[in-house]
Amino acid sequence: MTSTPVQGDAVRLLVVDDSPSIRAVIRAMVEGDAGIQVVGEAGTGAEAVEMAQALRPGVILMDVQMPEMDGIEATARIMASVVVPIIAFSSFTWGAEAKASIEMLAAGALDVMAKPDLGAAGAVRDCSSLLRKKIRSASRVAVVRHLRGPVAVSPKRRVLETPSDSRRFEMVGIGASTGGPTALRELLSGIPVGFPFPILVVQHITKGFTDGFVEWLRQHTPLDVRAANEEDRAAPGSVLIAPEGRQLEVLPDGAVRATSRKPRGVHLPSADALLSSLASAYGPKCIGILLTGMGSDGAEGLLDIRNAGGLTLAQDEETCVVFGMPREAVRRGAVEKSMAPASMAELLRRTAELSEPGKAGGRA
């Protein structure tokens, strides 16, 4: 356990890894950057909790798998008390550790990235550039306290209005970024087997972790969750996740395309691309949802859905890790209702009942 004084306005970084050699590599990756200074190193999760309280760093870079106390437990303890932006630093982008990295996001970590392959030419250089960018980005986020256990739902109990009986829906599109895994878990875990609408999801996540995210999400919902294929079809009760490096778009007949196109803005996949395609293909018969995240991706697409007569929902500020994307959608007049993810699940259940043939007010 070591600490270093810091000067100026540099981001105060705490490095946590049980390998001294990896900690040395991390130091080397940020050395020379006047905007970032390592103020401490911890070799265990328990040390990380102590140093987070003592040093109050601006960002913590934390290993996932460590002896005695892993990164998940350390993140949960820190986010229940000190509240510091945490980046999960993983050795693997597949298998159990990839899912453990997503668990760290659910415990309150802001982001996840893979450790460099030290034997690959240029890997450390490329990782260094990405790491510095992520550290700066994380340092600007006003993170919220995460209590232990399931994410707490707002104590304010709302009586939800169900959309007018004149509207019938057939498809749901969701966009999410920072904090999205937890919000998606809360939303999708509240939707039962037999849900009649397909659900398409764009979640911004670091390259290499999509498969782990899909596997993790499967554990928290009764719905059929999988990554979309290049040419796919949306089925009732299915959740198709946008694959890495491809835009996810839907056609009027329910066909889904995961195409390798240029980014929309800076995002590939993009929530705007998905939601705009929904508006074009399904018009008033689609539901667009925008969850927590940095930036403005999804705001334009959600406005397209609202202008087409569809239902548009955004996560409320109280339950967002980062209110950026929903705030921009609200600013543009794209949001019909704002609420917590659990309330969204309840509204979707009610809406689905009205849209099913034979239900009261439903289609004959």
Query: Do residues 58 and 30 make contact, with C-beta atoms less than 8 angstroms apart?
Result: no
Residue 185 has pLDDT above 60, yes or no: yes
Helix (H) or strand (E) holding 272: helix 271-282
Topology alike, domains 2-139 and 171-355: yes
- Give residue 201's pLDDT: 98
CB atoms within 10 A of CB 228: 24
Burial (CB count within 10 angstroms: exposed 0-12, middle 13-18, buried 19+), residue 277: buried
The topology under which CATH files domain 2-139 is: Rossmann fold (3.40.50)
Residue 227 Ramachandran class (φ > 0 left, ψ -120 to 50 alpha, else beta): beta
Residue 339 has pLDDT above 70, yes or no: yes
Q: At what angle do helices 341-355 and 180-188 cross, to 10 degrees?
A: 40
- Give residue 1's pLDDT: 61
Q: Between 137 and 145, where is the model more confident? A: 137
- The mean per-residue pLDDT over the stretch 228-235 comes to 94
Per-domain residue ranges of the chain: 2-139, 171-355
Q: Please give the CATH superfamily to which domain 171-355 belongs.
A: Methylesterase CheB, C-terminal domain (3.40.50.180)
Sheet containing 111-114: order of strands: 2-3, 36-42, 11-16, 59-63, 86-90, 111-114
Structure tokens of 118?
């030290």
Structure tokens of 11?
């981001």
Confidence of residue 360 (pLDDT cuts 50, 70, 90): very low
Sequence-separated (6 or more) residues with CB below 8 Å from residue 358: 364
Residue 231 has pLDDT above 90, yes or no: yes
Which residues are catalytic, by number?
177, 204, 297
Question: pLDDT for 216-226, tens place per residue?
Answer: 999 999 999 99
The model's pTM is: 0.87
Burial (CB count within 10 angstroms: exposed 0-12, middle 13-18, buried 19+), residue 313: buried
- The mean per-residue pLDDT over the stretch 311-327 comes to 95
Cα separation, 60 vs 63, in Å, equals 10
Cα separation, 8 vs 28, in Å, equals 20
Query: φ, ψ for residue 133 (rounded to 5)?
Result: -65, -45
Kindly report the average pLDDT of the chain as a whole number: 88
- Give residue 347's pLDDT: 96
User: Which residue bears the tokens 């993983």?
Assistant: 90
Residue 150 has pLDDT above 50, yes or no: no
Q: Spell out where 52-132 has E strands.
A: 59-63, 86-90, 111-114
Confidence of residue 262 (pLDDT cuts 50, 70, 90): confident
Among 142, 144, 217, which Cα is nearest to 186's?
217
Confidence of residue 152 (pLDDT cuts 50, 70, 90): very low
Question: pLDDT for 89-125, tens place per residue?
Answer: 988 766 566 888 999 998 999 999 999 888 787 888 8
- DSSP class of residue 36? E
Cα separation, 284 vs 60, in Å, equals 44
